[in-house]
Amino acid sequence: MSRLPRSLAVVLTLSVVLLALYPVFGQVVFPNKHAFLMQKLTGIMIMAVMAMSLDLLVGVAGLVSLGHAAFFGLGGYMLAMLSPEYAAANLWLVLPATLIAVAFAAAIVGYLSIRTSGIYFIMVTLAFGQMGFYFFNDSKFAGGSDGAYIMVKPAVEILGVSVLNLGDKRTLYYVGFGTLVGVYLLLRVLLASPFGRVVSAIGVNENRVRGLGFDPVVYKLVAFTIGGTIAGLAGFLAAIQYGFVNPATLSWHHSGEALVMVILGGMGTLFGPAIGAFVFELARMGFEAMTDHWLLPMGAMIIAIVLVLPKGIGGFLLQVFSARSKVEDGQ
Amino acid sequence: MTGEPKVVLETRGLTKSFGGLVAVNSANYRFVERQAHAIIGPNGAGKSTFVNLLTGHFPPTGGEILFKGQQITGFPAHKVSRLGVGRSYQKTNVFPVFSCFENCRLAAQAQLPSSMRFLRPAGRYKEVNEQADRALALCGLGSRRDRVAGTMSYGEQRQLEIGMVLATNPEVLVLDEPLAGMGKEESEKMVGLLKDLARHFTLILIEHDMDAVFSIAEVLTVMVNGTVLESGPVEIIRASKAVQDAYLGDGAEAY
Amino acid sequence: MDIWFFLIQVMNGVQYGLLLFLVASGLTLIFGIMGIINLAHGSFYMLGAYLTFWLLQTVDSLFLAILLALPISAAVGYLIEALLVRVLYRRDHLDQVLLTYGLILIFNEAQRMLWGGDVHGIKVPGGLDWSIRLTETLSYPVYRIALSAVCAALAGGMYLVIQRTRFGMWIRAGASNRDMVAALGINVKLLFGAVFAVGAVLAALSGAIAAPINSIGPGMGDSILIICFVVVVIGGVGSIKGAFLGALLIGLADTFGKVLAPDFASFSVYGVMAVVLLVKPRGLFA
Amino acid sequence: MTRISRRGALLAGAAVAATGLMPTRFAIGQTAKVRVGLMLPYSGTYAGLGEAITSGLKMAVDARGGKLGGREVEYILLDDESNPGKGPENASKLIAGDHVDFLVGTVHSGVALGMAKVAADTGAMLIIPNAGVGAATGPMCAPNIFRTSFSNWQPAYPMGKVAWDRGMRNVVTISWKYGAGEEQLGGFEEGFTQRGGKIVKRILLPFPNEEFQANLTEIASLRPDGVFAFFAGSGALKFVKDYAAAGLKSIPLMGTGFLTDGVLAGQGEAAEGVLTTLHYADALDTPDNKKFRADFKAFSGKEADVYAVQGYDGGQLLAIGMDAVKGDTTAGSRAALIAAMEVAEIKSPRGAFTLSKAHNPVQDIYLRQVKNGQEIVLGVAHKALADPAKGCKSA
């Protein structure tokens, strides 16, 4: 991934700072809606993490998955299953355990699906995703179709002293924010690494990469596993936020929404899918507030964006800002 | 180096059939170190299939391939490439969104023991960078280092294609129609480059342009319908009546 | 389960499979020829059912209602192709996915605005509203048999059209090479518009003729969509023959899954798909 | 795009700021409206149910001059899409974002559980006007959670006795494989087997699969004395039709009222003779019910159904509570509010009922049958039935 145009980097940084400061000024700007908006933004940031993790597969490695939500959901279910019923789980134990379990699941699903490609890959991932959905939907031990509850949020303690109260909305907001920024930076580092370069190249022309001496299957599998694990992290946080997991979080509808966020935001740009998550969720919120028939403007908006902005919002921003920086450079 | 000519790459009875159609039929080749070996033949003669077999892109139906005496039959493409058999493609096959340097750097990166490295930026591997720059210089694109590949002229992209192969640090270069679709000027430049390369590498060249072939290659093999019609030093084959009848005449007309 | 009931279950599976084939055939046609992943295919299925229900309130004959619903569906399909889909041919598959996803939302909302959120049923037309006695306790509804016959006849017709006619030849050519179709001097725009309309009609027809044994309600298009994709992919994208076999396979898997392994019934369909694709990564007839 | 939505957010913010000038807390004066959040399905399969509940509740409030405890009422409607994945999020939105005094909802059990979870966490007042999930007045029961409808067990249990009394000994039960289905089948099976009846087979289909043919064939081969089914909405419509078309009418079909309510017209002749139990019947021949039905028709333009009744009773329960505290919704009078609601006797169109310790109605369950396309009330199947509220600590 090439570096972002400087002016775009500035704009994005400013947006992130604004997001970071929201809990401070939100009370003043939206006195009535503040608590709700903070909660909503927390949820959106978690979805943005999910969208970015999917972008690693779809936009970078060219692996269009329609089963990504399975890992998101699994992350949440792991927390629900590992939490004692009426006591707090220890985050330092449940988080790594969750991530390992999700990574394991992603590696198996990836190993089986990566032998197919194109539309077949989409469908195989869909099949595995739906299997995951039905596994939790039909099984008794995790609440079946009614879902399961995490009655007490995990404790974050260092040497027996609580350092973070995940029950506090503002704390959770910053946990979500930190995860968003952290995952973005992590993925940037990853994409700049030798591994990331190979994966990016696979997304462009897999056969050529093979000809150069790399085995694409292995790289795709590792990328799939990393993406799935990050989605699991997002699902883990989402489960903490509402103390609730439901099979619907694994279903293809949820995968589809994440995919829409990625395409809408601009595949392969990483920041784009995060923006896509914000646009998608905020637009839905806005349209819902405006009209009962909110699906109509929502559908129209998606169609308009796909017709007008072929590379998504992120691609559009890149285009605008790189044109501008050329002007600035006197070119 | 003197003495016995050393065979780098060899095929024995190499055969590939698709369904009922035999594309390559029991091909026996010996590619000698630092020799430029051209394979010519009419369209559909099985040249490209042969290249794909040689570089592991297709598994053969029968026969074997030996690299420095070692069995590599059925090795996948990435393994063959890492052993030192680099190839270029008939259709331009560079990464258009990457810069020239990045194209070569990625190719050079294949020489790292493993690319499963996740944290240190790829651009900070000094030896990889040096190798990429060497390859760029060799293929004549040193001045184009930071150009985005997709924005360059067709001829330059073909050059870059060769540069990428060079960056993988190969011993054998398998070039599939490097001159295809090039204008006269571009062609001349490329022929010059190939002549240069012929001094350093074992060259296996698939090409239609006879003038280029005669000026570069030392050994010539003519393939027709999947089988070897004739093989030997360029001058001899060039004079061979059978070859002239079977291929060169038609080929010249068709060209 | 004795042999008699086993055979009846096979019949159930085949009947369900034939219906699935009819819906999926339009999807695989559009998919194979135009390279378009049409998520809105299920919406046309819904459209056919609702149009039939709506027209039945005025025309009083199921046959007539279906006959009237088809040209309307074709027109809607053609318009969507001409106004929206056409813009995206040179684009990435995923842009088409996004576009047709947006269309689903619009279709669903339009359905709600036009016909409300209630669930409706259509009476089985007189003459077909009786059952054939199979065992002491079980009868088989004649309408289901008629439905299977129609689906089978359409499948046969489709086979003939594709194998024997010029249109079919274009279709086969288009599936393998889009540029070649253009080279043959065929108006590709018109061909694609027609194919999209035909796909829409096939989906609408399925929704319409299945309406008497189905319930007509919101979201009916979404649930059929996924199962159709499963069918298409199992058969091999673009292959009508594959869709036919895939549909029968899924119909039988669903039927026997429910009876023999009820705890894994939901798995059965997806399990079959996963296994097929792991063995033949491009479907049965790619 | 981002710019537009940002502007939209600013506009919304300005609007919010404007309303923010008005006092929302009772403490400032009785001018503020009571905020009632209706979180119900307004789209999708259950949209009609959501609308009926809304109309019923509004009608109850309008009957009191549009006021609760002397305060005007403001409704905040939110479409829950029957999406359990977003249940807690939507409930939080109403509580934290819209500061509702009462949360009312919903139809889908999974969503209702999410709401109950949020209500338990935040202490918000919740009234469930439909979802029958047992846990809401079972393990998750709480002082601030009320239900004016039924528990899934409740309408199904009395059918067990009915089946036994009618001479059935071997019965097949069938439903979708999800919470409500299994709870309803459980209710019937408990009532039937405790008298000695035998469940030949319990068939559970993947939700919301509507292709029943394979299972109907299976039922035919099992030849039971009767079949008890729980389906709702389009599934109910289709199941009853397919059951008849498969020639199974010689085997009596039973279910809870959801098998026929609202879809009877679509089922047509196929529904003839189907036996159902429910806490309400459209044809209930009481003055209260007749008046309610006439009023509801005038109020909403639609025929009343069980959902309208449940919404209406939700409104009545609200009114009783708010009258007791004279409209004071502050924390100080919360205990009084809850106490008044707990002992309320609600004059429902279904017949008067009270609430159990777990806050679920203690109500009569009627036996109904479809005759000549009409639902006929055959009598009371079980008088003043209370849900056992398994797992509820306060019951």
pLDDT per residue rounded down to tens, chain A (331 residues): 457 888 999 999 999 999 999 999 988 888 877 888 898 999 999 999 999 999 999 999 999 999 999 999 999 999 999 988 778 889 999 999 999 999 999 999 999 899 888 878 888 898 889 889 988 887 777 777 778 888 788 888 888 888 888 888 899 999 999 999 999 999 999 999 999 999 999 999 999 999 999 999 999 999 999 999 999 999 999 999 988 898 889 988 899 999 999 999 999 999 999 999 999 999 998 998 888 788 899 999 999 998 999 889 999 999 898 877 655 544 3
Q: Nearest by CB to C121, from D209, D221, D266: name it.
A: D266
D84 and D159, same domain (yes or no) = no
DSSP 3-state percent helix, strand, coil across chain C (nearest 5): 75, 5, 20
- Exposed / middle / buried, residue B1 (Cβ in 10 Å: 0-12, 13-18, 19+): exposed
Rounded alpha-carbon distances, angstroms, from residue B134 to B164, B167, B202, C274 = 11, 8, 18, 47
Same domain as D98, residue D179 = no
Task: Give the pLDDT confidence of B35-57 residue by residue, as tens digits.
Answer: 999 998 888 788 889 999 999 99
Closest CA to C267 of A25, A139, D395, B136: A139
Q: Is C136 exposed, middle or buried (0-12, 13-18, 19+ CB in 10 A)?
A: exposed
Top-confidence residue, B246 or C231: C231
In a domain, D242, yes or no: yes
Expressed as residue numbers, the domain containing D266 is: 153-278
Confidence band for C129, pLDDT divided at 50, 70 and 90: confident
Of residues B182 and A108, more confidently modeled: A108
Decide: helix, strand or coil at residue D152. Answer: coil
Q: What does the block give as tokens for D197?
A: 């009846």
A326 and B CB contact within 8 Å: no
The per-residue pLDDT for range B82-111, each reduced to its tens digit, is 999 999 988 878 999 999 999 999 999 998
Give CA D14 to chain center in angstroms. Answer: 37
Length of chain A equals: 331
Please state whether at least 3 CB pairs lie below 8 Å between chains C and B: no
**Domain count within chain D:** 2
Side chain identity at residue B125, one-letter code: Y
Cβ-based contacts of C237 with chain A (< 8 Å):
119-120
- Taking an 8 Å cut-off on Cβ atoms, the answer to whether A138 and D206 are in contact is yes
Contacts of A120 in chain C (CB under 8 A): 233, 237, 277, 281-283
pLDDT for residue D27? 44
Find out whether D68 and D322 touch, Cβ atoms under 8 Å: yes
pLDDT digit string (tens) for C9-64?
Answer: 999 999 999 999 999 999 988 887 787 889 899 999 999 999 999 999 999 899 99
Task: Say if residue D106 is preceded by a cis peptide, omega within 30 of 0.
Answer: yes
For the question of whether the overall pTM of this predicted structure is more than 0.90, the answer is no
Secondary structure E strands in D232-353: 253-256, 275-278
The span from the CA of A313 to the CA of A51, in Å, is: 14
How many interface pairs between A and B have CB atoms less than 8 angstroms apart? 90
List of residues 6+ apart from A149 with CB closer than 8 A: A80, A143, A243, A244, A245, D113, D117
Would D395 be classed as within a structural domain? no
The answer to whether residues D163 and D138 belong to one domain is no
Query: Burial, B90: exposed, middle or buried (Cβ in 10 Å; 0-12, 13-18, 19+)?
Result: middle
Domain assignment of residue D386, yes or no: no
Predicted confidence band at C173 (pLDDT cuts at 50, 70, 90)?
low
Identify all chain C residues contacting D242, using CB atoms and an 8 Å cutoff.
141, 213
Which tokens go with B7?
């065979």
The residue type of C65 is A
Give A206→chain B minimum CA distance, Å. 10
Interface of D with A in 78-97 (CB under 8 A): 78-79, 83-85, 87-89, 92-93, 96-97
> Can you name the residues that pair with C141 across neighbouring β-strands?
C131
Residues D303 and D217 in one domain: no
Same domain membership, residue D158 and residue D143: no
Report residue D208's pLDDT band, with 50, 70 and 90 as the boundaries: confident
Mutate which of D221, D225, D250, D251 to test chain C, going by most C C-beta atoms within 10 A? D221
Shortest Cα–Cα distance, D37 to chain A (Å): 14
Q: Tell me the mean pLDDT in the region D113-124.
A: 90
Taken in order D108, D110, D113, D117, the sign of the CA dihedral is negative
CB contact burial D336-350 (16+ within 10 A = b; e otherwise): ebbebbeebebebbb
Amino acid at D274: V
Flag if B118 and A196 touch (Cβ within 8 Å).
yes
In the listed set D235, D255, D278, which residue is the last one of a domain according to the structure?
D278
Percent of chain C at pLDDT > 70 equals 94
CA of D130 vs chain A CAs: smallest distance (Å): 16
Per-residue pLDDT tens for D243-266?
998 889 899 999 999 999 888 888
Q: By three-state DSSP, how is residue C122 classified? A: coil
- Cα–Cα distances in angstroms (integers) from residue B42 to residues B50, B191, B208, B255, in the given order: 14, 21, 8, 10
Average pLDDT (C90-99) is 84
Please spell the DSSP secondary structure of chain B, one letter per residue: --SSPPEEEEEEEEEEEETTEEEEEEEEEEEETT-EEEEE--TTSSHHHHHHHHTTSS--SEEEEEETTEE-TT--HHHHHHHTEEEE-SS--S-TTSBHHHHHHHHHHTTSS-----SS-GGG-HHHHHHHHHHHHHTT-GGGTTSBGGGS-HHHHHHHHHHHHHHT--SEEEEE-TTTT--HHHHHHHHHHHHHHHHHSEEEEE-S-HHHHHHH-SEEEEEETTEEEEEEEHHHHHH-HHHIIIIIHHHHHH-
Is residue A76 within 8 Å of A250, Cβ to Cβ?
Answer: no
Separation CA D115–CA D39 (nearest Å): 9
What's D317's domain CATH number? 3.40.50.2300
Contact A79, A236 (CB under 8 A): yes
Q: Are residues D145 and D158 in the same domain?
A: no
| Inter-chain touch C117–D43, beta carbons under 8 Å | yes
* D180 and D211 share one domain: yes
DSSP for A198-228, please give it. Answer: HHHHHHH-HHHHHHHT--HHHHHHHHHHHHH
User: Touching D: which chains, 3+ CB pairs < 8 A?
Assistant: A, C
Q: What's the pLDDT at D23?
A: 38
Same domain for D158 and D197, yes or no, is yes
Read off the pLDDT of residues D25-53 as tens digits, 9 standing for 90 and up: 444 444 589 999 999 988 766 778 899 99
Handedness of CA A110, A111, A113, A114 (dihedral sign): positive
pLDDT confidence tier of residue B251, bands split at 50, 70 and 90: very low
The residue ranking higher by pLDDT, D358 or C60, is D358
pLDDT tens per residue across span B5-36: 789 999 999 999 887 788 899 989 999 998 99
At residue A327, the pLDDT reads 54
**Residue B175 and residue B161 in contact, taking contact as beta carbons nearer than 8 Å:** no
Record the tokens describing residue D108, joined without a space: 């889908």
Shared domain check, D355 and D242 = no
Indicate whether D146 and D290 sit together in one domain.
yes
Contacts of the segment D300-303: beta carbons below 8 A, 24+ positions apart: D300/D52, D300/D55, D300/D59, D302/D52, D302/D55
Are residue D171 and residue D71 in the same domain, yes or no? Answer: no
* Same domain? D97 vs D136: yes
User: Looking at beta carbons, which residues of chain A come within 8 Å of D97?
Assistant: 33, 35-37, 39-40
- List the domain boundaries for chain A: 6-330
Burial pattern A69-107, b for ≥16 Cβ within 10 A else e, equals bbbbbbbbbbbbbbbeeeebbebeebbeebbebbbebbb
Contacts of A313 in chain D (CB under 8 A): 1-2
Rounded to the nearest angstrom, the minimum Cα separation between D371 and chain C is 19
